[in-house]
Structure formats: structure tokens, C-alpha cells
Structure 1
Amino acid sequence: MREFDYRRAHDVQHALTLLAADPDARFLGGGTNLVDLMKTGVEQPTRLVDVRELPLDGIEPTAEGGLRIGATVTNSDLAAHPAVRRHHPALAQAVLAGASGQLRNMATVGGNLLQRTRCGYFTDVSGPCNKRVPGSGCPAVTGEHHQHAVLGASDHCVAVHPSDMGVALTALDAVVGYETGEGPAEIPITDFYLPVGDTPHRETALPPGALITHLILPPPPAGARSRYRKVRERASYAFAIGSVAARLTVEDGRVAEARLALGAVASRPWHAHAAEAVLTGAPADGATFAAAADAELAAARPLPRNGYKVPLMRNLVVSVLTELAEEATR
């Protein structure tokens, strides 16, 4: 690991100033992803700006009935918060499924949003990777890719986004708040992550030097149920090979409102727009849920060794939606 300067920020403006003074600086939250990448040489910041002591660690109700979640809230505190568990259970479930207890105690909300792929070619600095070195190639396309993307990928990158929390936030219509030297701003999480295209090294729409300050969760519709389900290759802590976050509102046996996001299938949490269109207004039954899954997965383009993800995700979507529909009628 190369030498770096370490500074502790006293307030948001101080953090922004410290980062702006060094083009190779990085913000440091819990460090559970960034420090790992520094050890392997993927990230080589010349300065770390520690933001853990900024007053961004609260979870508060909004005037509209939603929640405002500070960027330095730990994953453990987020998953345990009564309002999150009561009104947004899919988020609590996703956070608990995402890491070991020790990691959850350190990892922050803002850092979780910015974690980078766990693709082995990305973390191996001895070889090419378009995400790490633009224009160098993507060995995963013809190499080891059984855990890689089946939706929204390109010849330039087939890696998947690792976040469980981001999948749940996508299904819950979260908004990301950030601050730059020009002032505060917000962006819907569906616009926060960029399509991979031919620029896989550009992962988010955050302006250069921006600091994530909070998340906004709007209030769920009356009667809505939500759930997160993750499939992994071992029962203990591991990254997903497929996951689903869903929120469903059922009225008189029909789907009044649906939000659906898929994880571990694309370079970003995948908002399932096609499935939502099939679900909304349709009978809340197995046939509808299967049709919704098929509509979304029609765009899948699996590689030779990850085609199993298509039936896996179909079954997972149908299972989660069926459970939510049954819960709504109890």
C-alpha cells in the first residue's frame, strides 16, 4: 500500500475543501471496501478524508412521513432502527443479508452505495479490466463469469454491482442527497447508478468531489408489504448470485402498486420496469407474477456459464411476490 495523507473532517464544508485540495483524495467512512481495494492496489489515494465524525449519523422522520437517513449511519444501526423495520422491512432484510455483524458495525450507508464490484479481474491489478483501466479490455467476457451480469451488460464490462442495500433502496424509491462546493442536491437512486455502456469506469452520476450526506425514503403506500430475498453459493456471509427486493400493495385481489428490483444480475441494482408494468392493475396471482418475471427477463443476455441466473431469477421473483400477496390477504 502506498503512503497517504490522513485528515479528519470537522464539518461538511471542511470535508469538501480537504478533498478538493487533492485530486487523488478519497472520502473514508467505515473503510470496509475502500481499504481492501487500497491493499490490493486497485485504489491508490494520496489522501483519505475521514468523514465518520460528521453529524450525519441520524435517522429522522420527514414531514411527508418518510425517513431521512444520514450517510454515516452504520449498517447495524440502519437494520435495527424500529421505523426501518416497521415501514421498510426489505431494507432491514437486505442490510442483514449483506455482511457479517463485524462489517455491519463499521460499514456506512454512504459507503455502501459507493462500493465497487467484486469481479476477480477488477481486483487483480496484474491484468486488464476496463473498469479499472479504461480501454484495457474485459477478460470476464470469455473467462470466469458464472457470477456475472445477464442484464444491461456490454462487451466492455460484465461485472455485477455487489450491494444488497442498493437493491432494496431501488425498490423503495430512495433519493440520494449529496453536497458539493456549489451546495446541496438530490438525485433519485434509479438515476444515481449509470448504465455500463462503453464507460464502465463511470459508475455513478455524482459530480466530482461530491459528498453523500443522506438518503430519503418516501413513505410507503398504505397496506404495502416489502421483502428482500438473496441467493448465495453458501449459507454463511457471501455476495449474492441473485437477489430480489419487492414492494407490493394488493387491493381487492389486484396489484394496486408494485416496485421490483433485481440484484447480482447487472452492473447496477436493476429496476424492473417491465415487470412493474405487467404487475400494476393485474390479478395478484401466480400467473401474473410469472408473466412479470418473464417480461423483465426477456432482455437477458447470459454468457456461456451464467445462464442459470435466468431461471433462478424467474423463480425468485415469483416466490417473493407470491409471499407478499399471501401476506397482504391475511
Structure 2
Amino acid sequence: MREFGYERVRDVSSALALLDADTEARFLGGGTNLVDLMKSGVERPTRLVDIRELPLDQIEPAPDGGLRIGATVTNSDLAAHPEVRRRYPALAQAVLAGASGQLRNMATVGGNLLQRTRCAYFTDVARPCNKRQPGSGCPAIEGEHHNHAILGASEHCVATHPSDMAVALIAFDAVVSYESADGPGEMPLADFYLPVGDAPHRETALPSGALITGVTLPPAPVAANSRYRKVRERASYAFAIGSIAAALDVQDGVVRDIRLAFGAVASRPWRARTAEQRLQGGPLTAEALWAAADAELSAARPLPHNTYKVPLMRNLVVALLTELAEEAAR
């Protein structure tokens, strides 16, 4: 591991100043992803700027009736918060599905959004990877790719984003707040993650040296009837091979509002807007659900060893929305 410095900060301006002075420094939250990448040699920061003592660890009502979540809130505290569990249950479920209790106690909301892919070619510095070393190639396309992307990939990268939390957040139109040398800013989470294109090493639209300060969930009555479903290769804690965050408001058999997002199928959390549009305002029938799932997945371009993800996601859409409709009818 490369020798590195360590600084603990207690205000945002000090944190920004340290990264401005050293472009190879990195912010350290829980360290559950960054430290692993440092051990493998993928990340080689000159300095770690510990932000855990910044005053960003609160979950508070937003002025518009939504919920504001500070960047250093731990995953455990987020999943246990009564307002999150009551108003956005799929978010609490996604967090609980994401890792062991020990990891949730350390991992932070801001760090979760910035975690890197678990593609084995990315984490092995002895192998080429366009995400780690632009222009070196993507061996996953011809190699091991059974858990790689089927949506939104390119010939330059087929890795998937590992976050469970981000799937639920994007379904509920979360907005990311940040501070940078140019002042505060915010952007919808849907715009936060960049398409792969020909530059897979550029993963987010966060300005260089910026610090995520929080995430805001707008008020969404539909989110109260929501659920997160994760499929993985073992019952214990593992990364998803496919997941869905869904919320549904159906009255008299007609869909009044719907939210749908996929995980583990693309380089970023995938908002299933085509399926949402097909179902919005229409009757909630089995035929409509299958048609909506097929419309969303018509853009899928699976590789030889991950074609199973298409029927997997199709079945998840129908099963989870059916469960939510039955629950709402009780």
C-alpha cells in the first residue's frame, strides 16, 4: 500500500481546502469500499481526509415535506429511522439488504453513492480495465461476465453499479447536495451517475474535489407502499444479480402513481421509466405488467453468460408489483 497522510476535519471548508491543495487526496467516510481499494492498489491516495466528524449526520424534515439525509449518516441509522421506515420503506429494506450489520454501522450515505464497481477485472490491477486505466480494454466482454450489465453498457465497459441504497433513492427522485470550491450545488440522483459511453472512468457528474453533504427525498405519498426485492447467489450478504425498488398507488384497478428502478443490471441505478409510462394511468392487469416489463427490457443487450438477467428482471417486475397491488387492496 502506498504511504499516505491522514487529516481529520470538523468543518466542510477545511475538508474542501485539503482536497483543493492535493488533488490525489480522498475523503474518508466509513472506508468500507475505499480502504479495500487501497489494499488492492486500485486507489492510491496521498492523503485521507476523515470527514466523519462533520456536522452531516442528521436525518431531518425538508421544508417541502420531504426528508433530508446527511452524508455521514450511517447505513444502520438510515435503515432504523422511523420516518424512513414509515414513508420510504423500500429504502430501509434496500439498506438492510446491502451488507452485514458491521458494515452498515460504518458505511455512510455519501460513501455508498460513490462506491465503485465490484467487477473482478476492475479490482485486479494486473488486468486491463477501461474504468481503472482508460484505453486498456474491457476483458469482461469476452471473459467472466455472468453478473455484468445488460442495460446501458458499451463496448468500453459492462460493469454494474453495486449500490442497493441508490436503487431505492433513484426510484424516489432523490436529489444530491454537495459543496465545492465554487460553492454549494445540487443535482437529481438521476443525473448524478454518468452513462458509460466511451469514458467509463468518469462515473459521476460531481465536480472535482466536491464533497457530498446530503441527499433529499421529495415528498412522495406513493413511496409509503413500496418494497425492495434483491436476488443474490447466496442467502447471506452478497451483491445483487438483480434487484428492484418499486412503489405503487392503485385505485379501483387503475395505476395512479408508480415508481420503478432496477439494480445490478447497468453501470448506474436504472430508473425504469419506460415501464412506468406504460403502466401510469392504465389498468393494473397481468397482461399490462408483462407488457411493461418487456417494453423496459427491450433495450437489454445481454452478453452470452448473463442472458438469464432478462427473464429474471421481467419476473421480478411482475411479481413485486403484483404483491404491492395485493397489499394495497387489503
Q: What is aligned with 2:319?
A: 319
CA drift at 1:119 = 0.2
* Counterpart secondary structure, 1:243: strand
- The alignment status of 1:156 with 2:156, answered yes or no, reads yes
Q: What is aligned with 1:139?
A: 139
Alpha-carbon displacement from aligned partner over 1:182-230 (angstroms, at most 9, x marks no partner): 2111100000000001000000000000000000001112685111000
CA drift at 1:275 = 0.4
CA drift at 1:32 = 0.1
Q: What is aligned with 1:287?
A: 287
Alpha-carbon separation, structure 2, partners of 1:288 and 1:274: 13
Alpha-carbon separation, structure 1, partners of 2:83 and 2:142: 46
8 A Cα contact 1:224 1:249, kept in partner: no
Q: What is aligned with 1:15?
A: 15
Q: What is aligned with 1:51?
A: 51
CA drift at 1:285 = 2.3
Q: Please, what TM-score do these two structures have when normalized by structure 2? A: 0.99
* Counterpart secondary structure, 1:38: helix
Alpha-carbon separation, structure 1, partners of 2:222 and 2:120: 43
CA drift at 1:318 = 0.6
- The alignment status of 1:169 with 2:169, answered yes or no, reads yes
CA drift at 1:7 = 0.5
Count of aligned pairs between the two proteins = 330
Q: What is aligned with 2:221?
A: 221
Q: What is aligned with 1:309?
A: 309
Alpha-carbon separation, structure 1, partners of 2:203 and 2:311: 28
Alpha-carbon separation, structure 2, partners of 1:73 and 1:100: 16
**For residues 89-168 of structure 1, what are the structure 2 equivalents within 5 Å?**
89-168=89-168
Alpha-carbon separation, structure 2, partners of 1:275 and 1:222: 16
8 A Cα contact 1:179 1:212, kept in partner: yes
**For residues 82-93 of structure 1, what are the structure 2 equivalents within 5 Å?**
82-93=82-93
8 A Cα contact 1:223 1:328, kept in partner: no
**For residues 64-75 of structure 1, what are the structure 2 equivalents within 5 Å?**
64-75=64-75
Alpha-carbon separation, structure 2, partners of 1:327 and 1:150: 31
Alpha-carbon separation, structure 2, partners of 1:243 and 1:85: 19
* Counterpart secondary structure, 1:86: helix
Alpha-carbon displacement from aligned partner over 1:24-74 (angstroms, at most 9, x marks no partner): 010000000000000000000001100000000000011211100000000
* Counterpart secondary structure, 2:221: coil
Alpha-carbon separation, structure 2, partners of 1:187 and 1:74: 22
TM-aligned CA distance change 1:95 to 1:183, over 3 Å: same
8 A Cα contact 1:223 1:250, kept in partner: no
Structure 1 residue runs of 4+, over 6 Å off? Answer: none
Q: What is aligned with 1:61?
A: 61
Alpha-carbon separation, structure 2, partners of 1:279 and 1:8: 49
Q: What is aligned with 1:250?
A: 250
TM-aligned CA distance change 1:222 to 1:151, over 3 Å: closer
Q: What is aligned with 1:232?
A: 232
User: Which residue identity is paired with 2:162?
Assistant: P
The answer for unaligned runs of 5 or more in structure 2 is: none
Further displaced range: 100-109 or 58-67: 58-67
Alpha-carbon separation, structure 2, partners of 1:20 and 1:66: 33
CA drift at 1:273 = 1.1
User: Which residue identity is paired with 2:244?
Assistant: V
* Counterpart secondary structure, 1:76: helix
The answer for unaligned runs of 5 or more in structure 1 is: none
Q: Please, what TM-score do these two structures have when normalized by structure 1? A: 0.99
8 A Cα contact 2:130 2:137, kept in partner: yes
Alpha-carbon separation, structure 1, partners of 2:164 and 2:318: 19
Q: What is aligned with 1:264?
A: 264
Alpha-carbon separation, structure 2, partners of 1:224 and 1:239: 25
CA drift at 1:239 = 0.2
User: Which residue identity is paired with 1:210?
Assistant: A
8 A Cα contact 2:6 2:48, kept in partner: yes
Alpha-carbon displacement from aligned partner over 1:119-146 (angstroms, at most 9, x marks no partner): 0000000010000000000000000000
8 A Cα contact 1:121 1:139, kept in partner: yes
